[in-house]
Amino acid sequence: MLASIHSPEDLKKLPAEQLPQLAEALRKRIIDVTSKNGGHVGPNLGVVELSIALHRVFSTPKDSIIFDVSHQCYAHKLLTGRNGEAFNRLRKTDGFSGFCSRKESAHDAFGSGHAGTAISAALGIAAARDLAGGDEHVIAVVGDAAITNGATLEALNNIASHTKRLIVVLNDNEWSIDRNVGAVADYLNKLITTPVYNEATRGVRRFLEKIPGGAHLIRAGSAWKQEKKNVLSSGSSPLFENFKLRYLGPIDGHDIAQLISYLEFAKKSDRPILLHVRTTKGKGFSPAIENPEKFHGCAPFNPENGELCLSQKKAPAWQEAFGETLVKLAREDKKILGITAAMPAGTSLNLLKKALPEQYFDVGIAEGHAVIFAAGLACKGFKPCVAIYSSFLQRAVDMVMHDVCLQNLPVVFCLDRAGLSPQDGATHHGLYDMAMLRTLPNITIMQPKDEDELADMMATAFDLGKPAVIRYPRGAAVGVPVKEKPALLPVGKAEVLKEGTDDGAVCLWSLGGVTLPLAEVLAKRLEAECGKAPTLVNARFCKPLDRELLAEQAKRAKLFVTFENHTVVGGFGSAVLETLSEIGAEVPVERIGWPDAFVAHGTNPADLRERYALSDEAIAERVLARIRKLKS
């Protein structure tokens, strides 16, 4: 049946009684592909019926369906003509993206990989429709975790003043990656657990009886039966009604007929409307239901039992090394606190949560709030550590500047995924943090070569008494032993790993454990080709740079080569160029880093390095060509 669906029009032709069979086929296809490729399993399995109902009722690409985060778009892709070889390669090189992408399909109305964008984008699209005199429908599908995001709340505040026709579908499954936290999560839980109030039920029935098709909704919509739950909270108006949205729900998100009925009604609404849909994350695959955090986004797995197909790790992940060190330091200093924005497992702050729960905070998907919250804690003598993905801190750069750096507060930012997040792609690559942050006064930025140096940098950061950033990549660390007591590093001082044999004619400066092996490979190649070994430096700090060492080496160097797991625009190499210019050293610099472009998704870092001419061979040829040019 799924093979016969080449567009939403094919879906509309299916008899209604076959739709549950289609849902089963979609789940089977999603499980089959993600078991081989990895991916967002739970979120996608939870919205299969909702995706069918949306495409049964609406007509994309004329109508716009905007998925918040869009890590629940696999069924949408399969229903819009993308069930082919490129879907088999989902999230891999030359395969489809794991998120919505306007480049990929006209059915993807808005690209997204971060939470909180859907309602703002949908409102913009709806306002554009109104200005153009169009009649198309605009639907924002928002998770219950994203509804608390600052951008989402700002958009909710503006809906009623900007349009009369907008549909918001609240996909409520009680989870983002970890279980949702905060007052709004409690409120939504209250909506689905408070017994029905008779007067509220009668009021809803009276409302439905007056509208076209309302009688059918009363018959079809079990939400209005006594055993279902109240749409109103006790003693107060509903949250969404106060935003001037008509609220209907909760609705069974796995009852296709009921979903279609409510969506058909929403099409006719003369004011913005929110449908509160209840779904089960991971539905149809018991391992994903039993462990929603593990199967939110996971590695390849055995589709029979859900066991992850993990390769034997030679070293702990960088995030694990961070989490273990933080617990160790926090045991010794009760002023040290850990803060996550709904990513306890992703950042390994779950280790702190388990060991020292009183020193742990989860603020939900609210990165800006996380940073200002940390600043407030720091004002009172605490030492907060905000553990966050590099790509997510982008959303709070203003807070880092205005609330932390301007006041010179001792907040430590530990940036996970600083570098590539290969299969997630452009929205998740952490390639821009240094460019965004190193211009800020009072901030220290560092990156370790291994997990032992990471521990030293964490101890140094908490000792600084001012803003500090430590960036480290996704994946396995180096595998070196970590000493019992971390050492304090001299701030802004690099480490010379190997002195060159030619009085430093070529100096290789590497920042971080990912690029150091690239620099080491190049060093061997240069020695073999030129007969002289270059100087190899572990920079450690991007800000402040080791100006003294740079100045000393610049007196003899003919070429500096910088390595960074970051865009070359505004990053570590740029900082070296600026410093050499400031000290009056006219030494050329060859910057090795990611290009000034949004890097695509790919199977692994090696594939992407090959694609962007950053393989060992490509780097060597580039540097050798630069050396030959200097000699000519």
Does residue 181 register a pLDDT over 80? no
Supply the pTM of this predicted model. 0.88
320 is catalytic: no
Note whether 172 and 277 are within 8 A (CB). Answer: yes
List, for residues 410-426, the tens digit of each pLDDT value: 999 999 999 999 999 99
Does residue 520 register a pLDDT over 70? yes
Q: 395, 438, 540, 609: which is the annotated catalytic residue?
A: 395
CATH of 496-631, one of 3.40.50.920, 1.10.390.10, 3.40.640.10, 2.30.40.10: 3.40.50.920
State the pLDDT at residue 15. Answer: 95
Percent of the residues in the chain that have a pLDDT greater than 70, as a whole number: 89
Does residue 300 register a pLDDT over 60? yes
Least confident of 52-61, 345-354, 501-510: 501-510
List, for residues 201-212, the tens digit of each pLDDT value: 444 455 455 555
Average pLDDT on 341-369 reads 95
Among the listed residues 267, 612, 321, 297, the one whose alpha carbon sits nearest the alpha carbon of residue 475? 321
List, for residues 91-122, the tens digit of each pLDDT value: 999 999 999 999 999 999 999 989 899 999 99
592: tokens are 């090795």
State the pLDDT at residue 175. Answer: 56
Annotated domain spans of the chain:
2-11+19-290, 318-471, 496-631
395 is catalytic: yes
State the pLDDT at residue 426. Answer: 95
Which DSSP string corresponds to 466-530? S-EEEE--SSB---PPPPSSPPPPPTT--EEEE--SSTTSEEEEE-STTHHHHHHHHHHHHHHHH
540: tokens are 């450690």
State the pLDDT at residue 146. Answer: 83
Note whether 196 and 161 are within 8 A (CB). Answer: no
Is 318-471 the same fold as 2-11+19-290?
Answer: yes
Compute the CA torsion angle 312, 313, 314, 318 (nearest 10 deg).
Answer: 180
- CA quadruple 19, 25, 26, 27: dihedral sign: positive
Q: 27, 29, 77, 281: which is the annotated catalytic residue?
A: 281
Average pLDDT on 572-588 reads 96
Does residue 150 register a pLDDT over 60? yes
List, for residues 362-392, the tens digit of each pLDDT value: 999 999 999 999 999 999 999 999 999 999 9
What is the pairing mode between strands 360-362 and 273-278?
unpaired
Q: Give the residue, 64 or 310, on which the prediction is more confident.
A: 64
Least confident of 135-144, 486-495, 498-507: 498-507
List, for residues 592-606, the tens digit of each pLDDT value: 999 999 999 999 999
State the pLDDT at residue 306. Answer: 87
State the pLDDT at residue 249. Answer: 85
Q: Give the residue, 307 or 51, on which the prediction is more confident.
A: 51
Q: 49, 293, 324, 367: which is the annotated catalytic residue?
A: 367
367 is catalytic: yes
List, for residues 536-547, the tens digit of each pLDDT value: 999 999 999 999
Note whether 285 and 45 are within 8 A (CB). Answer: yes
What is the fold, at CATH topology level, of the domain defined by 2-11+19-290? Rossmann fold (3.40.50)
CATH of 318-471, one of 3.40.50.970, 3.30.930.10, 3.40.50.2300, 1.10.10.10: 3.40.50.970
Does residue 19 register a pLDDT over 60? yes
Name 428's Cβ contacts closer than 8 Å, sequence gap at least 6: 113, 389, 391, 417, 421
